Amino acid sequence: MRPTPDHPLAAKTLNVWRIGSLIETLFFMLLPLAYWALMFVLPELPEWGLYNLIGAIVLYRVLDFVLIQKLQWQRWRYKVYENEVELMHGVFVVRRVIIPMVRVQHVDTRQGPILRYYGLASVTISTAATTHEIPGLEIENADRLRDQIAQLAREADPDE
């Protein structure tokens, strides 16, 4: 049995995810607004539908903000080995992904404005099939990890 990856995400990642959640909530609140406007066009729409919609959105967003994101952050782990990178994440369904170094084609760091404000970056690992992301690492750790994976991928490449 393989040991569980032991490298966590940066603590500030949770703040970034929560800010993103608040921004998403603003977009979700457009649904009740659209329903309310539709009530003028279709007067037979029940008013309780609007309140149920608002309640469901608020309940889901509060659960996401308070519980789900914290669990996601606590369970996100990664580990870099000589021949592979292992990622483990998920709240209800835990995914463990192993990326062989020989399959790595490109490694990159990425920063949006919120990540930059918190001094964080994401590392993306691209293979021919897909792209994997390690979100929310301190910028120095992200740069070091990017360089480490790139070096190990070069060493693992049988064509070189």
Q: Are 132 and 101 in contact (CB under 8 A)?
A: no
Same domain, residue pair 44 and 83: no
Does any domain span residue 7?
no
Does any domain span residue 5?
no
Same domain, residue pair 91 and 149: yes
Amino acid making up residue 125: I
Structure tokens of 95? 């995914």
Domain total for the chain?
2
Residue 157 backbone phi and psi in degrees, to 5:
-70, 115
Asked which of 72, 94, 113 is the last residue of a domain, the reply is 72
| H or E stretch at 1 | none
Same domain, residue pair 55 and 98: no
> Taking Cα atoms as reference points, which of 147, 155, 93 lies closest to residue 125?
147
pTM of the model: 0.84
Range of the domain at 97: 77-156
Q: Is 11 exposed, middle or buried (0-12, 13-18, 19+ CB in 10 A)?
A: exposed
Same domain, residue pair 68 and 109: no
Tens of pLDDT along the chain (160 residues)?
888 999 999 999 999 999 999 999 999 999 999 999 999 999 899 999 999 999 999 999 999 999 999 999 999 999 999 999 999 999 999 999 999 999 999 999 999 999 999 999 999 999 988 999 999 999 999 999 999 999 999 887 766 5
